[in-house]
Amino acid sequence: MLIDILFWVLALVSVASGVAVFMVDSMARATYALAVSFVAVGIMLVMVNLEYIGIITILMMVMEMAIMAVYMVMYMGMNPALMPMDMTHNKRWSAVLAAGTFVLLATGVLLIPWPARIGAPAADLTASLGEAIMGPKMLAMLTISPVLFATIIAGLVIANPRGRYDRWGDDLKRGTPDDPMQGGLGR
Amino acid sequence: MAATRTMGPFMADAIVQVSPAWAVLAPVGLLLFALAGAGLNGALTARSAGRPFLSGASAPLAQVARLLRQRRQVTVAADVLLWRVGAGGLVVVALLKILVIPLGSWTLADLDVGIVWFNTMDVMVWALFWLIGWGANSAHALVGGYRFLSLAVAYELPLMFALITPAVAARSLRVGDVVAAQQHLWFVTWMPIAFVIFCSSVIAFSSWGPFAAAVGRDIAGGFLTDVSGVDRLLILTGRYAVLTAGAAFAVPLFLGGGAGPLLPAWLWTIAKTALVLAALITIRHRVPTIRPDRFAEVAWVIVLPATLLQVLIVAIMAKGS
């Protein structure tokens, strides 16, 4: 009973703080409202015995929101992001899109013939999750990892405004790199 | 959540989960440790200023009294909600951290994923320090919040791998299993790099000592600039509490938990925690402040590969044994 009440309270909190993301007038509040929503979802995952996934969701999302707040302020330009501002844009089409998606998903939930549960959950869900990822799916993970890593490197290379020739000179023979910010290793 | 556990081969003095009613003692213990830490810091400060040791040791009590009486100052257009959340959250996060730390053989929450739980709580600190900086609506405080985040990006990955290293050796994310795996040999002896990096990260996520640039004097106190009264008390207490929780977590992770001769296990946990905390407090008076912008490169080019190397060595040794 108590568990049920807690679950519904968390469900309400997650939806309400999700709504708050678009209602508040500050970048920081919007970001951390989203973080609260994710934390509520994470606790709900823990409540259905998915401890690892639930806690890691909270970890990743709080970390991500802390960084996202910085980027949101940065991309808005310092001034507007530090002042009260509207969190919505293109209101009519977003409303249409949101309502349409909701109707589609809700219809799906109600109309799909949900299958009955086959088998029982493993005793240690964290270990079985690890085995599921690292065992039969290892080949997929090994293939995806380098691709993702290469994408990150490529993204950085494309975005990097100053390469090694800027830093170390045309023949790469400068003694100390010419950096706008000094310090770090060997400088 | 309270999963039952099959007895493994090491379970001679297994960690047992005690009644949640004992949780009322957790804040008392944590705050006493925080106060003792603050007292030691005050004493060391007094000694370096040439004043008597004891006058410094009692300074925290005087400061508590002063801050409780101080009127709260509010800046123009402050984001009061987020400010208060940041100020009050630190102590809460420290309390949530110590839930999974066993005192001798008793623990409040014997989670399957206790190590990940601790890690999650230290990530909460990212948000809290930034929110304190943001809430005041003042430039220096905000610079402090940003400085902390730039430091966090440098220390968090090494910290994660330092946390994972004992878990790899114990083959479990459960803190009790990590303690049990150290029955014959404390982890600090064969994973010293992970231990040192863990302790440094604890200092960093407490914005303390060499990693206190976010509250630096050059930015007029950083995110502490505009906090006053009870908010300031909560933040300062919270920093000591987070430092204490980190020191206490080093005990089950690297220092054998409650293992030790003669004394009961719970007393060993307290003694080891006090020792680690004293070392973390003292380091503030020995090491200069490190600039986060310069430290980032060191963290990513030297510290992170060092932790990876440590995990690799431990994984090979754990596989072989």
B92 vs A contacts (CB less than 8 Å): none
How confident is the model at residue A31, as a pLDDT? Answer: 92
How confident is the model at residue B86, as a pLDDT? Answer: 93
How confident is the model at residue A139, as a pLDDT? Answer: 85
Residue position matching structure tokens 């090694």: A164
- pLDDT over 60 (residue B90): yes
pLDDT one-digit tens code per residue, B127-173: 999 999 999 888 899 999 999 999 999 999 999 999 999 999 998 89
A25 vs B contacts (CB less than 8 Å): none
How confident is the model at residue B4, as a pLDDT? Answer: 40
- pLDDT over 60 (residue B7): no
Q: Which residues does chain A have with pLDDT short of 70?
A: 77-81, 183-184, 186-187
Q: pLDDT over 70 for what percent of chain B?
A: 96
A126 and B149 in contact by Cβ < 8 A?
no
* B contact test, residue of A23, A24, A126 with most B CBs within 10 A: A126
B127 vs A contacts (CB less than 8 Å): 32, 35, 62, 65-66
In residues, how long is chain A?
A: 187
Q: CB-CB: which of B112, B123, B296 is closest to A62?
A: B123
Q: Which of B172, B244, B161, B163 is nearest to B208 (CA)?
A: B244
B123 vs A contacts (CB less than 8 Å): 59, 62-63, 66
Q: For residues B139 and B13, which has the higher predicted lDDT (pLDDT)? A: B139
Kind of pairing between the strands at B16-17 and B106-107: parallel
pLDDT one-digit tens code per residue, B249-287: 999 999 988 888 888 888 999 999 999 999 999 998 889
A28 and B79 in contact by Cβ < 8 A?
yes
How confident is the model at residue A167, as a pLDDT? Answer: 84
Q: CB-CB: which of B1, B82, B119 is closest to A59?
A: B119
How confident is the model at residue A141, as a pLDDT? Answer: 83
Q: Which of B153, B137, B103, B156 is nearest to B264 (CA)?
A: B103
Amino acid at A164: R
Give the per-residue SS3 of B220-259. Answer: CCHHHCCCCHHHHHHHHHHHHHHHHHHHHHHHHHHCCCCC
pLDDT one-digit tens code per residue, B177-191: 999 998 888 999 999
> Nearest residue of A to residue B156 by CA position?
A63
Q: For residues A35 and B15, which has the higher predicted lDDT (pLDDT)? A: A35
C-alpha–C-alpha distance, residues A26 and A35, integer Å? 14
C-alpha–C-alpha distance, residues B274 and B280, integer Å? 10
Alpha helices of chain A — where are they, by DSSP H? 2-23, 27-47, 51-75, 78-82, 91-111, 125-134, 138-159, 164-168
| CB neighbours of residue B140 within 10 Å | 18
How confident is the model at residue B168, as a pLDDT? Answer: 93
* B contact test, residue of A2, A26, A63, A82 with most B CBs within 10 A: A63
Q: Considering all CA atoms of chain A, what is the largest pairwise distance in Å, rounded to the nearest integer?
A: 73
pLDDT one-digit tens code per residue, B24-55: 888 999 999 999 999 999 999 998 888 888 88
Task: Kindly report which listed range (A36-45, B105-114, B195-204) carries the lowest average pLDDT score.
Answer: B105-114
B82 and A181 in contact by Cβ < 8 A?
no
> Nearest residue of B to residue A125 by CA position?
B112
> Nearest residue of A to residue B302 by CA position?
A185
In residues, how long is chain B?
A: 321
Q: Residues of chain A whose C-beta is under 8 A from some C-beta in B? A: 26, 28-29, 32, 35, 46-47, 49, 51-52, 55-56, 58-59, 62-63, 65-67, 69-70, 123-124, 126, 181, 183-185
Q: Which of A78, A38, A73 is nearest to A57 (CA)?
A: A38
* B contact test, residue of A49, A59, A60, A82 with most B CBs within 10 A: A59
User: What are the phi and psi torsion angles at B107 (to 5°)?
Assistant: -135, 150
Quote the minimal CA–CA distance from B46 to chain A in Å. Answer: 33
How confident is the model at residue A77, as a pLDDT? Answer: 63
Q: Residues of chain B whose C-beta is under 8 A from some C-beta in A? A: 1, 3, 79, 81-82, 85, 111-113, 116-117, 119-120, 123-124, 126-127, 130-131, 134, 146, 149, 152-153, 156, 173, 291, 293-294, 296-298, 301-302
Instruction: Say what the ipTM of the complex is.
Output: 0.87
B112 vs A contacts (CB less than 8 Å): 51-52, 124, 126
pLDDT one-digit tens code per residue, A100-135: 999 999 999 999 998 888 888 888 777 888 888 788
pLDDT one-digit tens code per residue, B54-79: 888 888 999 999 999 988 888 888 88
A65 and B124 in contact by Cβ < 8 A?
no
